[in-house]
Structure 1
């Protein structure tokens, strides 16, 4: 598109619609039988019994409203991204955004293994600029670590997705150390991605106090990311894994400076409780990465620029569209910001290239490739 001629655009969050029938060939027995049964049920938007738990509770269905669009093929996704002016898209799941809500450890791990195999086989690099992130099932950290080890040298894999929707044990817990260790060793960043759900897990258990999607959707994503960030800082994840890149996606940006300032205030009085931290919390918060979606749109766009400045996000903020979900953001949202062209280039693409360690062709820069040596016969 002409308006993006001077920009290279990386979308840090696009979604594909993986269905039970898609994962059947990749799933271990006996869980394959469960997917076969699920595939015969009606497919609703992010709500397939036994595969994608109902994510927003009972609510009225209004005529018209949001377009529940899905992406089903690499060709469709590539065409969609072309229309949006996006060069590289990083793929997340759709139905399995809610995998953290599954109570059965073996089933969750089997679904994650099947999805990862499907992602690599059918999506990553099957069209130019389509990259993927591995799904790490929080129910079985050891199995998730094995998945990272298995796929760490795949060109199309550029990160590890840590589900936050309905997560019962926040990501800072030591039980997840195998995932962090494996990701850091593989040179793969981790991305925390939330989603709206009504669930007994904190903080989603509080959403039942609200009657409408207006209220629930306003706070669910950002609160989930806030509490996971707090737990990771409290337990010293960025200290224990100093080479692990961490990103928070699908919560917008306005909560970030609040956390930086609030935690620094607590640190001044109560640092004895977190003696393992080598710097004030804001130091780590300013070194995390953040996806823009759903981007705030204040009446005065300079207010959003100020928010980014408050957490020094010029080099750590990445454009994310959330395509094709109803609340997706067009990259024009970044073009409209009253900042320099250099900063727009960073947010639209350069920061993501750095975070995912890829070049503009989607090649992983940290991937160890076998090099054929010339042998001279004397």
Structure 2
């Protein structure tokens, strides 16, 4: 039995809880009156969370660490869960950067105390206020020595594309500390960010939700064209919950235009698609599901998915994915990389958690073997 992880979930939403004990007293009144800024803007008739994910002991979904372990991680054999919080990323979009900074610090301190201390299977994200990059860099360095904090996380909604030099202090700190930088959707069109589409505001939640990948295209395009990966050659950037099938189109278009317009980006030394494969990572949820699975596998090959794609469930949201069912038929080695291999390299999680119980370990191995050997999951087998 290999000691390497077989399933790493790169997007698990834990409810952070009250921040009052972690905030300076001067901010208590504002937090009591306002809380975390910019909640839901578009109404969803089905809500945000699954109805069956409420902890047995009460509280909202994702609020009980032990229930999350049993309901999700043990059930599906997840070795590690990368925690991404819930409803907190709006802190980057408050007009008052000082309020965003203290909220980020409080979220991180509470994450360490109430989640990372519970189980070595939980790995945390360092929340930062991207609207104040200098303060964000300091927050990264404050937590970087904690081996259970494995990435930097900020809202995908922003005042300007993430390649611009305004944000470079964040990338400098992340590269220095050996941490990837991740973005997550949900706040597009809120606070001090721009409209969620180039043409303005959609009318309804479904329209807004459908078009979120356009923001990810903007940031990837900006990061490459602004030369971020030349300036920070060890930096990795994770696009969580943004889809996958848009990336081949963007890579092709960027490479085509680079051939004619490279004078406008003289700092680039390679084709844009090469920077993307080396530095950009995507997560599977929400994964595209065409009627012919082999079509999606072709897309995975186009983006070198064995290097760029990582499994995520988005637990406990309404559209979360079951790891036993979500991935289409694909070559075994590619699936192994998506389920755990790429994430293990990115986050430095090369062995199973020391305290993972034997039942969970056996289940994880069983699920992995079943998934990889099932006739329904080996289209285009390449040994």
Specify the TM-score bucket, using the shorter chain as the normaliser. Answer: 0.7 to 0.9
1:64: Cα distance to partner?
Answer: 12
In the other structure, the counterpart of 1:292 is 284
What secondary structure is seen at the aligned counterpart in 2 of 1:172? coil
In the other structure, the counterpart of 2:39 is 54
Q: Are residue 31 (structure 1) and residue 33 (structure 2) matched? A: no
Asked if 1 retains the 8 angstrom alpha-carbon contact of 2:136 and 2:170, the reply is yes
| Number of equivalenced pairs | 342
What secondary structure is seen at the aligned counterpart in 1 of 2:123? strand
1:28: Cα distance to partner?
Answer: 2.0
In the other structure, the counterpart of 2:366 is none
In the other structure, the counterpart of 2:372 is none
1:73: Cα distance to partner?
Answer: 2.1
1:224: Cα distance to partner?
Answer: 1.4
Show CA shifts across 1:99-135 (max 9, x none): 2321110000010011111111111152241001101
Asked if 2 retains the 8 angstrom alpha-carbon contact of 1:160 and 1:183, the reply is yes
Asked if 2 retains the 8 angstrom alpha-carbon contact of 1:55 and 1:197, the reply is no
Q: Are residue 188 (structure 1) and residue 179 (structure 2) matched? A: yes
Asked if 1 retains the 8 angstrom alpha-carbon contact of 2:155 and 2:187, the reply is no
Deviates more, 1:93-102 or 1:66-75: 66-75
Query: Quick one: distance in 2 between partners of 1:316 and 1:348?
Result: 12
Asked if 2 retains the 8 angstrom alpha-carbon contact of 1:55 and 1:198, the reply is no
1:250: Cα distance to partner?
Answer: 0.6
1:182: Cα distance to partner?
Answer: 0.9
Query: Counterparts in 2 of 1:24-173, with a 5 A limit?
Result: 24-35=20-31, 37-38=32-33, 49-57=34-42, 59=43, 61=45, 67=51, 69=53, 70-79=61-70, 80-165=72-157, 167-173=158-164
What secondary structure is seen at the aligned counterpart in 2 of 1:191? strand
Query: Counterparts in 2 of 1:188-227, with a 5 A limit?
Result: 188-195=179-186, 197-199=188-190, 201-204=193-196, 206=198, 209-220=201-212, 222-227=213-218
What secondary structure is seen at the aligned counterpart in 2 of 1:134? strand
In the other structure, the counterpart of 1:16 is 14
Deviates more, 1:74-83 or 1:231-240: 74-83
Query: Quick one: distance in 2 between partners of 1:60 and 1:308?
Result: 31
What secondary structure is seen at the aligned counterpart in 1 of 2:82? strand
Asked if 1 retains the 8 angstrom alpha-carbon contact of 2:92 and 2:154, the reply is no
1:361: Cα distance to partner?
Answer: 3.1
Gaps of 5+ in 1: 1-5, 39-48, 364-378
Gaps of 5+ in 2: 54-60, 355-383
1:219: Cα distance to partner?
Answer: 0.9
Show CA shifts across 1:46-83 (max 9, x none): xxx441413333x4747999639521122122112212
What secondary structure is seen at the aligned counterpart in 2 of 1:332? coil
Structure with greater contact order relative to length (CA < 8 Å, sep ≥ 6)? 2
TM superposition outliers: structure 1 runs of 4+ over 6 Å: 62-65
Query: Quick one: distance in 1 between partners of 2:113 and 2:130?
Result: 23
Q: Against the structure 1 CA distance between its residues 63 and 311, is the aligned structure 2 distance closer, same or farther, given a 3 Å change threshold?
A: closer
1:317: Cα distance to partner?
Answer: 0.9
